[in-house]
Every structure is written in C-alpha cells, then in structure tokens.
Structure 1
Amino acid sequence: MLFAGGIATYLVLAARGENKTISAQPTSGPRRAATAGAGTQPATADSFRQGPCPFQPGSGIIQGRDLICGTLTVPEDRSQPQGNTIRLAVAVFKAATAQAAETTPFLYLSGGPGGATLSELGPYINQANRQAVTLGRTFILFDQRGTGYSSPSLYCPEVDRFNQSTKDQNLSRQANDAGYLRALRSCHDRLTAEGIHLSAYTTIADAQDVHDLIHALGYRQVDLYGVSYGTRLALTVMRLFPQDLRSVILDSTVPTQSNLFTSLSASMQHAFDTLFKGCQADAFCSETYPNLQTTFYRLVNRLNAHPVTFNDLQYGPILLTGDGFAQWVFTSLYVTSFIPDLPRAISEIDRGQYTLISETYGELMLAQDISYGMYYSVECGEDMRYTSLQELNKSVSVLRPELRPGMQDGLEVDYQVCQLWNVPAVPPEQKQPVTSSLPTLILSGEYDPITPTSNARQAQKTLSHSYLFVFPGTGHGVFLTSPCANLIMAEFLDNPQVQPGSSCLSSMGEPAFV
C-alpha cells in the first residue's frame, strides 16, 4: 500500500516507537489561539476524582495499594470557563517505600502528538520492573487531552479503517491521497458536530493541564520527563510554569522553535545515512552486506515500479511499495532492539524473502492507537501555520532522488489536511526557543530517525543548566531501552544540580548487526 498522509504517519509513529523493545498558502496574518496567562481558567483543587483504572495493571500491581487512578476535569477552552470540559485519565503509581515517597514525584509526558500513555505504559509496569520504570519514585501518568482514555477522544477510526481496507491494494498516489483526505474530513466533521473545539487542543493547553494536574494531586513540584513531542510539551511547561518544576528530562527532543514538517526530509536522510555508515564501519555488516546503501535505493525504485505482496503475521496481506518500504525502514529505526536486524531485513526483501518485515510491519505501521485528531489539531496550528507550500517543497531537496516523490506527496497531503482542519496559529512566542536555568538532562539516540541529536543541541543552546548525553546504537526514546540511560537519569534525579556520571556510555558500543 501507499501510506495515506505519509508525513503524519512518519511523525505520529514517534508516539508508538518510543521506549519500545521490539492546498492554498497560509494567510500572512493567521488567526491565533489563546495564549496562557490572564483570562485563562484553571482547574480547581477538587477536580481530580479517583476511580477504577481503565487498564489491567501488571502482575503484582494492586490498585489502591500500589496504584491510584482517576480523572482530572479541566476546561476545554480556558477563556470560556462555563463551556465544555475535558476529563483527563490519570494513573499514579505510588513509591515503593516510605523513604521514596518523600522524594519529588516523577511526571511522564508521552509523544505524538496524539500518543496514548495509560494503555502503553500502565499494563507494562509490574512488580518485577516497577523499580526500573518508575526509578523508585511516585510515577504520574496521564493521557493528554484528546488522547487515550481521556474524554472527549480525538481518535479517528475513519483513518484506521481506510488504512486497513487499502493495505493490500495497489492504489495510485492520487487515489490514496483522496481516500485519506475523505477519511480525515469525515473525522473532522464528526468531531466538530459533537461540539468539540479543535482549536483548544494545543501544546499550550496541554501545559496548562500539566500545571493543574500537579496541584490537583497535591504536589508543589515534580521532576518532569518528556519524550518526543512530550519534550516540546515539557519545554512549554518550563516556559509557562517553571515554579512547578524541580528538574526536567528531555528524551528525543523536539524544540519549540523547530518545524516538524520542514525538518523531516533532513531527518530522514540523516537516519538512512547513519544506518549505512554504521553498517560500513562494522566488519561483519560490511562484509555480509557490502552494498547495503545501493541495495536500499534500488529497492525503493523497484518496489515503486513493481509492488509486491507479503503476509504480515498479524495483519495478513500487505502490498509493499517503494515508499512503504522506505517508511518501514525509517520507522524501524525508532526501535533500538530492531536496528541490528535492519541490514538483514533489507537484504531479505531484495531476495524476495519477507520473514523479518512480516514480524514487525503491522505492529509499527498499522496499530490503531494514535489520535490523528489531536495530531492535526496541534501540528497544523503549531508547525504548518508557520510554513508554506513552497518551503515544504524546497525541504525535500536534501533527500536522495528516490525518496523525494513520496515525501513531497506526503507533505502536500498534510498541507491540504491542515487547510481542512482550519485551526488558528499558536501565538508566535510559542515558536521561540525556551530559555531556562532549570536543571535539565537531555538524552539523544545516535540512530534516532525523527529527533536527531541536532535537535537536542538546538534546544540546549538556551538551557543554561543542562547536560546532554548521546547514546550509541540507540533509536527513538532512550529511557526504558537503555540500562545506562536509567542509571544516568536516577543519578540526575538524586541531585539535579550536579552533572551525572556517564561512564556506562563507553561500554554501549554500536549495533551488533546480524
């Protein structure tokens, strides 16, 4: 299949890949969403209500003893306190010991935008891994507005149904794009008919929700962790509510001043180049797959001209085009544990064998756990409103010629989606770098395809009390994929004023290609 809305798929998959072990011009004076500050309406201290967990806790975790769940009620639009409300799904894993309960709570922000938190992490935490995942602290999770178990949900089943129904069809790009746009129009029209104000689903609103959550739970400060888009949200909290934070951890950074659409082509090319150079530098890989780069680009052309069908173990027949193949390799680089297998997988496909891709394609590319409505509500107002079709088309020039048509098509489709979504631009100050002296730990994976280390360095320039560590052989989302990262994070949280040790980095090494 040709992936509908390819760029949204590239970016939204960051929410699923993190922490895994396996079109007219915008107007020159766009409408602006409300900013934080005067006139906004906070949630009240009694707006958190305990209730049953919406997920099955992991083995040995008992609700009430180890885990508290509930909902936080906040205004949808804080300039209209008598208007709609949102119920945010919350889960708090209690610290395992009385001494640990005295430490600052640890608040986790997922990526996307549009990624679910509770369904991804809640059932994963069990008594055996609890210490490693929570770092021994009170561990706060919540589904951001429009996502997961929070209500209302901006999930778009229309998009998932379209992707499922066309996964084995050889559609032209034009037919594929038209179907995707129809699906999103149906989703948009349904959400707005339900009375949902899509312009209220922004990073600034998310940050206000974080502020309310901290205080509704009775805390004065938290240690804040964000991954992928969650880092942009964390940076926004740093800007708007620094008094709420003791320290911050940014994992796979998305700076507020960056533009995901115009930077994607450069990130993609860098990701593929890193893989090919890594294989070339490895004695086994370079001998076993001596022409990996040539093979890859030849396959993109060949599969676009002559797509093939293979059977995914979970999702059945899949039609694989060159664009879909490139997207699968790109997305696989998110997952640290799969990076060593990629040269072999590329070589297999070149020989007409699909063992490895059949084991991972569906989970990475078709899993139905992303809120596309939240994704477009945020990204259209935050990034697409601050670029142009000319800039988007210009951005693809950094790509190899084999990759440009698919990328350009995807960017143009998302441009059209944002015209349909028609949310206002965020205030210009949201697109400025965040300047802060808060202690900040920045983590970056060497092979991260979507948030490269250059992103981390860009954000670090205005964070005066920050420490940056790059993890060899690691993809997107360093926490929970690297024991070394957990050690560095734990030491940082014990004393954020002092740079943590990093001797474990020297023993990590590059991917052990197979």
Structure 2
Amino acid sequence: MKICRTRHGGRLAVLVGVLVALMSAQHKAQAATRACRIEGIPNELQCGVLKRPLDPARADGPQVEVHYLVVPAMARNKQPDPVLMLAGGPGQSAIGVAPLVMSRLARLNNRRDLVFIDQRGTGKSAPLQCADDSRLPMAESADESASLRRVEQCREQLQKLPYGDLRFYTTTIAMQDFDAVRAELGAERWNLIGGSYGTRAALEYQRQFPQHVRRTVIDGVAPPDLVLPESLSVDVQAALDAEFKACEGEPACAKRFPQLRQQWTQLLASLPRTVTLRNPLTNEPESFTLTRNQLLRTIRGPLYVPSMTSLVPAAIQAASKGQFEALAGLGGMMSSNKATRLALGMHFSVICAEDFPRMGKGAEALGSDMGRVEAESYDRICRNWPRGEVPAAFYQVPPAQTPVLLLSGGADPVTPPRHAERVAKLLGAKTQHIVVPQAGHGVMSLGCMGEVLYRFIDAKTDATALPQDAACAIKIPRPPAFQPIIRTEVQP
C-alpha cells in the first residue's frame, strides 16, 4: 500500500525525528554520568569515566580510565552542542582548573553544557604525577643534578604502573579519547576552547575530527610544529627586552630604574653565587648556590602576567644589591597554585615525543640571555624518556571547515602573536586573529573577553560568528612599573 504524505506531514515527521534524536542523546548522556560535586563549584555536576585502551592498536590490552566532568546548562531548553575546555601545560588537569575558569564561561553555561576532560596522564586519568618538590630544602631544590635524578626516579616509578608505558600519552591518542567521550555524551558536535598547550590539542582534535567541531577558540596559540624548548628562548627574551624598553619609555620608571639593563647584565655575570633566603614554608633562613640558569627560569614566571611584570624592575634592582627576596617571591607565585600544577610525567611524554625530535633543526636564533637553558634541560630528560610515535600529519594544520577565533597577548613570553599569525594563515578564511597588545599569556581571562567568546559561540550561523569586536580588551594599557615605597626617618 502506498502512503501519501502531505507537505505539513513531512515537516512534522522531520520535527518528531529531531526531537527523538535529542531525547535519545540526552538519555545517553545521563546514563553515562553520575551526580557529583567538586570543590570550588557550588552546584551539582555530572561526572563520568570512560575506559580506553592504553595502546589504541591493542583493544584487549591495558586500559586507562578517562575521567570527565559535565557542568550542566542552567536552562532547560539547552543547545545540543556543548563547550569543551582543553587544559594547558601540557600536564594540567582540566577538572582541576574548572573552578578557575567557570566565571568567564558562565554566560555560555546558561544554555550549553560545559565539559572538562582530564587528558590521559593528568588529574584522575591514569595520572603520571611526579613527587612534589615544593617542600624540599632550597639547596636541594636548586641543585640541577639532583633535580635530574628525581626526574629519572619518577620515570622509573611511573613505568612500573599498570598504565606506565609512556609512549602512549601523545596528543594524537589523547584526542581520540576526547572524541570517544563526545560520542559517549551523545553530542554530534561541540565547541572547543583551548588555552596554551590546549590550543595544540584543539588543533589536533580539529585535524582528526573536523566533522565534530562547530566553533573553536584558541588562546595563546602553540602550533603542533612549535619546538617549545627552543621557542621559549626567543619568546621569553623578547618579552624581557620589551619590559626593559617599556621602562626606558616610561618617565617614572626610567627615573627610578635608570640602569635597569646594566643591572640585569651585571646580575647574570655575578652568578653562580651563594645567597640566603627564608624558606617560604618554614620561614627559616637557608643558603644555597644560585646559578644563572635558575635566575633565568625565575624571571620567566612573572613575565606571564603584566601586573606581575610591573614588579620586575624593582625586583632586578633589589637583586643587583644582593636582595633576592622579591625575585624569589615572584618566581614562587607562579608555582604555588595546586590546581594548575603539572603532571610532569605526562608533560615529558608529550614534549619528548612531539618537540624533542625536532630540536636543533630550525634556523631561529636563540635569545641572547636565555640561550639554550630550556633546550639543555629537556635534552637531558628526553634522552632517556620513552617516546611515542607521532604521525607526520600531526605537524600539519589543514584549512578550517568551521570558524576559528585566535587570541594572542602582545606581551606573552611563551606563545606571542607570531605563532598565531602563522596558524591563522594555514587555517584560511574562516578565522579571526585578535591581538591584545598589553596582555600576557592568556587573553580569555580579561574581563570583557567572556562576552566576546559568548557572541562567537552563540552566533546562529558561521557567517555571523566572525568578525568579533574586542576593542574593550585591545585598549587595555600596560601596567606602570611598580614604585617601591621609600621609608624615611621621622625627625623628633
């Protein structure tokens, strides 16, 4: 029997089909997760665990548990495409940083689920965590040979774990885990937001699974072909030189710190030397040998955040007089947040597989002060670290099939605009690169950028998603150099 359908009947059938598909996806997502709570987020959440083969070629081999968190949309009539947040590092726990980023994603969360996946090797997902060195005596912590021995011991301990084959923690394999989570949640497509190393992860996910990406935001772009240990030398040097130049052009700073460059150069030349500082945990004075390499690593930290960079001139001037407390304090602030602590085993598994084999093959000149400090450190570690196979296609960035918003801070010491400019050209016409001249590492954290992200992702069509207006952030000025208070004696 032939059934005739009217035009309206056909539309109704399509609508019913869409509703059934949405209800089925929602039911699948609910079945895959359980109610949970985490510190720092007040409302009830959904947590899930997905078992994945450690080695994708051996489905019956050792398994890893990939943990993920879903922050449900606040509205009942939510959109079907969630927002996936990809953490940085490499080595950060996405679930660990979730409470820190919720405020900037709050408006997106009104009608979209937010998803945080602990990438394999981080958080609770087969963690490759080394011992916390922050409580060691300062002399032991400062000893580079001892630090290398601790990394070697960590590697040996990690390799004894059931999931300890360190070759299987590459970005390529991890993004296959992420797509399996997407399927488990029943999402046809989702929106990617990645910061720092999370941008490399987002680009790799987009390369492998373009059909499942609706929109992408990458903040502080680290391309797949970036050789991090060597690019750090160039980019940190540029950020430090920019701070010196800014001080020279700021009358108050130039007056207060007229010999800043010379003091820095003389300070480097004076090392190694014995210094005494109070241990921040015990408040007891401890003496240790401060080396040039340690000072260079210390100065890198505060350059990530402009408000902390403004303290650098005063800290350098104090150190030139033998007072290292300010520099040590600035360096310690960047490593004191437990939520952003890196899983070093995962960190080295990624860098040693993806960056290390390409070290020494570029023509880029290294920073005049920074030299090969980071390259030498990674070279010593990666020599013995098991390295996973990285497909040649990983280092390629194909044209984007959906809109991509790239964000860069002009004062970023690790992923400055030059990297995003190159990626934007490779991605093609469906991109916009926003540079905030006076921002550091991470532009999404700026107050008004949450609205920019919301407008980009919430746009109904690809044609209206770009361009976005970010004038509110672009006009933010550089913080002036900190001026220490000079104590004067009060005459009776």
What TM-score, normalized by structure 1, do the two folds share? 0.79
Aligned equivalents of 2:193 and 2:228: distance in 1?
Answer: 20
1:257 CA displacement: 2.0
Query: Counterpart amino acid of 1:118?
Result: I
Say whether residues 1:325 and 2:309 are aligned partners. Answer: no
Q: In 2, Cα distance between the equivalents of 1:190 and 1:169?
A: 20
Q: CA deviation at 1:301?
A: 2.1
- Given the alignment, which residue of 394, 397, 400 partners 1:433? 397
Q: 1:506 to 1:156 in 2, by over 3 A?
A: closer
Give the C-alpha shift of residue 265 in structure 1.
Answer: 1.6
Aligned positions of 1:155-234 closer than 5 A: 155-157=129-131, 160-161=132-133, 164-165=135-136, 167-169=138-140, 176-195=143-162, 196-234=164-202
The residue matched to 2:311 in structure 1 has which SS?
helix
Give the one of 130, 147, 151 matched to 2:122.
147
Change (3 A) 1:286 1:239: same
Q: Which residue identity is paired with 1:72?
A: L
Structure 1 residue 134: Cα displacement: 4.9
Tell me the residue number matched to 1:479: 444
Change (3 A) 1:373 1:506: closer
Return the alpha-carbon distance in structure 1 between the equivalents of residues 95 and 108 of structure 2. 14
1:455 to 409, 414, 419: 419
Matches of 1:169 and 1:210 in 2, distance apart? 39
For residue 443 of structure 1, the aligned residue among 388, 407, 430 is: 407
Partner-residue secondary structure (3-state), 2:383: helix
For residues 336 and 132 of structure 1, the distance between their equivalents in structure 2, rounded to whole angstroms, comes to 26
Alignment equivalent of 1:267, drawn from 235, 244, 251: 235
The whole-number CA distance in structure 2 between the counterparts of 1:216 and 1:322 is 50
Q: Distance in 2 between matches of 1:47 and 1:428?
A: 38
Greater shift, 75-84 or 311-320, is seen at: 311-320
- State the structure with bigger RCO (CA 8 A, min sep 6), 1 or 2: 1
1:97 aligned onto 2:71: no
Distance 1:269 1:118, change over 3 A: same
SS in 2 for 1:299: helix
Runs of at least 5 residues in structure 2 that lack an aligned partner in the other structure: 1-27, 483-492
SS of equivalent to 2:448: helix
Query: Would you say how many aligned residue pairs link Structure 1 and Structure 2?
Result: 444
Alpha-carbon distance between aligned partners in 2 of 1:134 and 1:262, rounded to the nearest angstrom: 38
AA partner of residue 54 (structure 2): E
Question: 1:88 aligns to what?
Answer: 66
Partners of 1:223 and 1:512 in 2: how far apart? 37
Structure 1 gap segments, 5+ residues each: 1-43
Residue 377 (str. 1) matches residue 349 (str. 2): yes
1:33-73 deviations in Å (ceiling 9; x for gaps)? xxxxxxxxxxx9899442644x3233xx222xxx2123222
1:138 deviation in Å?
A: 2.1
Q: Which range moves more in the overlay, 184-193 or 358-367?
A: 358-367
> For 1:232-381, what aligned pairs fall within 5 Å after superposition?
232-302=200-270, 304-314=271-281, 316=283, 319=288, 320-354=290-324, 356-357=326-327, 359-365=329-335, 369-381=341-353
The one-character-per-residue Cα deviations of 1:83-127 (angstroms, maximum 9, x if unpaired) are 12211221111222235x2263211001111112222333x467x
Post-superposition offset of 1:360: 3.8
361-370 vs 190-199, which moves further: 361-370
Determine the C-alpha separation between the residues in 1 that align with 2:450 and 2:65: 32
Change (3 A) 1:360 1:266: closer
Q: Name 1:35's counterpart in structure 2.
A: none
Partner secondary structure for residue 112 of structure 1: coil
Partner-residue secondary structure (3-state), 1:370: coil
The code of the aligned residue for 1:184 comes to V
CA offset digits 1:148-202 (Å, max 9, x no partner): 122x211111xx34x643523597xxxx443233222222222222232211100
1:106 corresponds, among 73, 80, 83, to: 83
How do residues 486-505 of structure 1 correspond to structure 2 at under 5 angstroms? 486-495=450-459, 496-497=462-463, 498-505=466-473
The equivalent of 2:3 in structure 1 is: none
Determine helix, strand or coil for the equivalent of 1:119: helix
Which of the two has higher C-alpha Rg? 2
The counterpart of 1:119, out of the listed 89, 96, 105, is: 96
1:358–1:91 Cα change, 3 Å: same
**Alpha-carbon separation, structure 2, partners of 1:154 and 1:305:** 33
Tell me the distance in 2 between the aligned counterparts of 1:56 and 1:367: 14
- Read off the aligned partner of 1:470 and give its amino acid letter: V
RMSD: 2.8
2 CA distance for matches of 1:256 and 1:364? 25
Q: In structure 1, how many angstroms separate the alpha carbons of the residues matched to 2:380 and 2:293?
A: 20
Deviation digits for residues 372-402 of structure 1 (CA, Å, limit 9, x no counterpart): 11111111111112335xx58x86x5322x5
Alpha-carbon displacement from aligned partner over 1:465-505 (angstroms, at most 9, x marks no partner): 1101111321112112x123223212211225321112213
SS state at 1:483 partner: coil
Q: Are the aligned partners of 1:113 and 1:378 in contact in 2 as well (CA < 8 Å)?
A: yes
Distance 1:308 1:365, change over 3 A: farther
